Amino acid sequence: MFITLEGPEGSGKTTAVEAAVNKLIEMGYQIVRTREPGGTVIAEQIRNVILDKSNTAMDSRTEALLYAASRRQHLVEKIWPALKDGKIVICDRYLDSSLAYQGGARGLGIEEVLKVNLFATENTWPDLTLLFDVDPEIGLSRISKNAAREVNRLDLEKLDFHKRVRNTFLQLAAQYPDRYIIIDASKSREEVALATLDAILSKLCK
């Protein structure tokens, strides 16, 4: 089972899933937690180039290709082997982030970005995608309050960009209803964590 977590900035997906993962481990499930961009040494090196705030000259297609390259390496070294071992892989962001950020918000087009990603992933789609949906104004204000979180190049985009990210995610959820579950991430931490566990269990027990 391959599960991905998606959402705009400050949706709280990482925190929400921690509680759910602990519960699943207690229940005896074998979980591999990972994140994009990154997850392996080479992919983390690519991450540093992508998110470096000083790389203001980065072209949009270069950005899309780097995310896809990092994804490929992550699949080869970590995700595919874990899935082959029968583990549950829970990945913070994946292909849909490229469709929403580079395809929708940057304006490269969902179809164009999908083509590059189908090459990179050899058609590896998640079984379940949890969309932590929140108004970007709420999300961005959460980030600015979180002093421990480092601000990256994408965070620095204007509010309009983040609104396009959110809208594209909602469009993708409508396009792929079989694998998407939307979680209202404007609710309290406890409620979001509970909804996350429910969503994962509903898929696992199907």
CB of 4 to ligand TYD, least distance (A): 9
Rounded distance, CA 177 to CA 166, Å?
16
Rounded distance, CA 24 to CA 112, Å?
37
User: Which residues make up the interface to ligand TYD (CB under 6 A)?
Assistant: 9, 14, 36-37, 51, 67, 92-93, 97-98, 101-102, 152, 154-155
Q: Verify cis geometry, omega within 30 degrees of 0, for the bond prior to 8.
A: no
- Cβ-based nearer residue to ligand TYD, 92 or 133: 92
- DSSP 3-state helix, strand, coil percentages of the chain (rounded to 5)? 55, 15, 30
- Cβ-based nearer residue to ligand TYD, 141 or 152: 152
- Cβ-based nearer residue to ligand TYD, 102 or 121: 102
Q: Which residue is nearest to ligand TYD (CB)?
A: 101
Write down the residue that tokens 């990482």 correspond to.
Answer: 14
128 SS3 class? strand
Q: For residue 16, how far is the Cα from the chain centroid?
A: 13
How many Cβ atoms are within 10 Å of 58's Cβ, its own excluded?
Answer: 13
- Cβ-based nearer residue to ligand TYD, 13 or 24: 13
- Cβ-based nearer residue to ligand TYD, 27 or 107: 107
| φ and ψ at residue 94, rounded to 5 degrees | -160, -150
